[in-house]
Amino acid sequence: MALASCLPALKRSKGHVLLTGSAAGRTTIPGSMYSATKWAVTGIGYNLREELRGTGMRVTLIEPGMVDTPFFDEPPEYSLEDRDIANAVVYALLQPAHVDVNEILIRPTPPVADSAS
């Protein structure tokens, strides 16, 4: 609803809408409403992009995997850092007007297995 009320001003500005979803919006997590809400963010992004087609507006979904934040009680085994997500956002924003970065799905690289074991 808030997004709908902002659309006229956004269209006039020819701005850039950034939506933060999650890699969890690309899969299912047993017993988790979190994943369902992130699927919703993905759907909103796709629909919004269609609504804004031909207006000069761009819509980018940033979908990070595990990020090391206070959200978790225990630190993840491997994770992204906040600056990794910031770099992805800057990449999307700095593209020329004819380039629309629709989605950035960014996940941490698992550690390399020790081949000596």
Q: Which residues are catalytic?
A: 34
Cross-strand pairs, 64: 106
Q: Where are the alpha helices (DSSP H) in 14-98?
A: 33-51, 82-93
* Close Cβ partners of 55 (under 8 Å, ≥ 6 residues apart): 11, 14
Beta strands, E only, the chain? 16-20, 58-64, 103-106
Please name the residue that has the structure tokens 């609504």.
Answer: 51
